[in-house]
Chains A and B, each alone.
Chain A
């Protein structure tokens, strides 16, 4: 869209802006079949495995796909190009495929679907538009199999990060997951932790919800407990170069969370002596947050004040969360962010977070 045709109150998307959380339409099982190994493809047919859609994003629920983005000609890629790349005008989009492979209990089957999904993404999306990059989907069920998939794809520089769901078998700082972090750190791949659940436990620490709205709200509290876990269980003490990208996490909870964690760290740090820096320092060096959904009110002064509480412009990575309904029209950037924050989150911070964005593809 020509910038001149935009409504005056829409904040400009800077040339070359990187959108760090974009969801390609999930492939149907028929689309996925050519990319599955022979045994798995046969299982799909013989066992009647029709779909792997997670209940976390009901296909027809309002947040899952914005109403006007349900329209449009062509396949998922054509719609994404029309709405996001050419429409809103982002320069590079990092795909986070959301297909419920992590929910399976059979880890080998999950790894098979993850391989097929990643190959499908490479052929059907990345090959067809050079503006796209992707996360590596892995079998979160088995760190060993996840590492195999990271090693298999690390040579393809269009895969720029590893994708995990925020609610897993155990809190993500647990030592069980460290091989994933080691492989990611070795290859210069950040680990994106995205909203969603493997559904091993109720989505809250106090039991199962009644409504989808509760489960969606549960993501933010689970990002909080996950950040506690990553820091206190020592992930960054052992993997100091690892970057974690909290995706679809919200960010306004961060200042009060760190006030609390810093206080508890002062009081209890003798119980986790490997945490040798203030939690806020660890977040500043190792953890990033995607922009949408912005969990702040419309009042620009409030968001501006919250960003003062955050205290640094290094933490945010621009995202639209396309096609999830987080904003209307082309208003991907909320009022209340400074010009320098906008430039950093769209350009500087993604380039610093994802070394592979500066490298030639392939």
Chain B
């Protein structure tokens, strides 16, 4: 997992063409220096006075202290200072260049998509979209942004999508998985309709503070439980979107699940088919077996990829998911970074390899 990038050792799985990395996390050196310039003075004052409360008790930080500072690789701090992945030059040096990354999709986190103060969340997300362009996408064409938005306020989300969707800087919209209501809820439909109308996939990254306990049985005690439960939150949001009819209503909708793992999907799809068959009366708006809907509309990014002892079992699992539905992601600079040389250490066909590391992503994002 936490493997150092080794710029001089690229023979293990040398790619003939560059890869697509569908989840990286550049950070501002500080909100004050890089993001405040895009905020009205009243919001700068507000943040300095009251902070940015979310639906958790701590004024800063997280509910569950992470395994290491900022959940980041200890070698990912730029030599010139600042937090991990805050320096474009070091980002290139440690990740983009040695790993032959042609496309890196940045997903800004810790930026308050679900702040308690909705107006602040709207303003901050708008600022972050400007920051992505100013500090990253315009300076480095290999990096593409994600349109972030205060997703509890659909009308402002639609405005952000329409403002940025036509730009080469952005390849998807981005939401978080732990929402106040499951993502199939009708209050989110205008967001999906706008994304689909503009040809953008909806990326849903694990994390977020929706105000619900992470499990149906309450709050767990430990960080490892919180981390593990992201796979279950992602399963629940797929259940919700399929059963609540999002994909039947919006045929062009593309969903990309980011950082929730992948290998649980076949079991989930089988289960949903069986429950659907028995509840056709309740689910009359769901016209096809859930497994078909999922195969057509849902992509998964690979990190943190499951690691069976018998690696061939992972291949068999991806056979069930569909090879075209899985996208490589590193999660740079976080601690559970998956090195592309080691993310899928199995014998693959050239087509599988090209799809996993590059082509599937370009297709999912509608890039050529």
Q: Is there a chain A Cβ closer than 8 Å to B95's Cβ?
A: no
**Inter-chain CB contacts under 8 Å: number:** 248
Q: Is there a chain A Cβ closer than 8 Å to B239's Cβ?
A: yes
Would A206 and B270 count as touching, CB distance under 8 A?
Answer: no
Chain B residues 239 to 258 lying within 8 A of chain A, measured CB to CB, are 239-240, 243-244
Q: Is there a chain B Cβ closer than 8 Å to A302's Cβ?
A: yes
Q: Given A226, A271, A325, which contacts B67 in the complex, CB threshold below 8 Å? A: A271
Contacting residues, chain B, for A268 (C-beta < 8 A): 67, 223-224, 227
Would A169 and B240 count as touching, CB distance under 8 A?
Answer: no
CB distance from A203 to the nearest CB of B (A): 5
Q: Is there a chain B Cβ closer than 8 Å to A105's Cβ?
A: no
**With A203-B216, A309-B308 as contacts: A225 and B270 at CB distance below 8 Å:** no
Q: Is there a chain A Cβ closer than 8 Å to B316's Cβ?
A: yes
CB distance from B80 to the nearest CB of A (A): 29
Stretch at the interface among B42-50, B116-124, B180-188, B350-358: B180-188
Q: Is there a chain B Cβ closer than 8 Å to A330's Cβ?
A: no
Residue of A nearest to B220 (CB): A171
Q: Is there a chain A Cβ closer than 8 Å to B147's Cβ?
A: no
CB distance from A96 to the nearest CB of B (A): 18
Q: Is there a chain A Cβ closer than 8 Å to B33's Cβ?
A: no
Contacting residues, chain B, for A197 (C-beta < 8 A): 216-217
- Alpha-carbon gap, A306 to B1, bound state (A): 26
Would B275 and A170 count as touching, CB distance under 8 A?
Answer: no
Chain A residues 321 to 356 lying within 8 A of chain B, measured CB to CB, are 325
Contacting residues, chain A, for B316 (C-beta < 8 A): 305, 309
Scan B291-335; emit 1 where CB is below 8 A from any A CB, else 0. Answer: 100000000000010111000011011001000000000000001
Number of contacting residues on A, CB 8 A? 70
Would B218 and A260 count as touching, CB distance under 8 A?
Answer: no
Scan B213-241; emit 1 where CB is below 8 A from any A CB, else 0. Answer: 11111111111110111011101110110
**With A62-B279, A207-B179 as contacts: A170 and B225 at CB distance below 8 Å:** no
CB distance from B243 to the nearest CB of A (A): 5
Residue of B nearest to A259 (CB): B306
Scan A165-191; emit 1 where CB is below 8 A from any B CB, else 0. Answer: 011111111100000000000000000
Residue of A nearest to B178 (CB): A206
Chain B residues 147 to 179 lying within 8 A of chain A, measured CB to CB, are 177-179
CB distance from B159 to the nearest CB of A (A): 25
Scan A151-172; emit 1 where CB is below 8 A from any B CB, else 0. Answer: 0000000000000001111111
Would B179 and A169 count as touching, CB distance under 8 A?
Answer: no
- Alpha-carbon gap, A272 to B270, bound state (A): 33
- Alpha-carbon gap, A214 to B178, bound state (A): 16
Q: Given B224, B232, B282, which contacts A224 in the complex, CB threshold below 8 Å? A: B232
Contacting residues, chain B, for A253 (C-beta < 8 A): 264, 267-268
Would B224 and A295 count as touching, CB distance under 8 A?
Answer: no
Scan A299-312; emit 1 where CB is below 8 A from any B CB, else 0. Answer: 00010011011000
- Alpha-carbon gap, A253 to B216, bound state (A): 17
CB distance from B320 to the nearest CB of A (A): 7
Q: Is there a chain B Cβ closer than 8 Å to A71's Cβ?
A: no
Q: Is there a chain A Cβ closer than 8 Å to B212's Cβ?
A: yes
Scan A199-234; emit 1 where CB is below 8 A from any B CB, else 0. Answer: 011111111111111101110111011101100110
Would B270 and A205 count as touching, CB distance under 8 A?
Answer: no
Q: Given A172, A207, A217, A296, which contacts B243 in the complex, CB threshold below 8 Å? A: A217
Residue of A nearest to B240 (CB): A214
Q: Given B182, B222, B304, which contacts A271 in the complex, CB threshold below 8 Å? A: B222
Q: Is there a chain A Cβ closer than 8 Å to B201's Cβ?
A: no
Would A295 and B274 count as touching, CB distance under 8 A?
Answer: yes
Would A295 and B271 count as touching, CB distance under 8 A?
Answer: yes
**With A201-B217, A259-B306 as contacts: A225 and B279 at CB distance below 8 Å:** no
Q: Can you list 7 A-B pairs with a CB-CB distance of less than 8 A?
A: A170-B218, A200-B218, A205-B214, A210-B184, A213-B243, A233-B225, A302-B320
13 further contact pairs, Cβ within 8 A, besides A171-B219, A203-B216, A208-B182: A169-B218, A170-B217, A204-B212, A213-B282, A214-B244, A226-B215, A255-B313, A256-B317, A268-B223, A268-B227, A295-B267, A295-B270, A309-B313
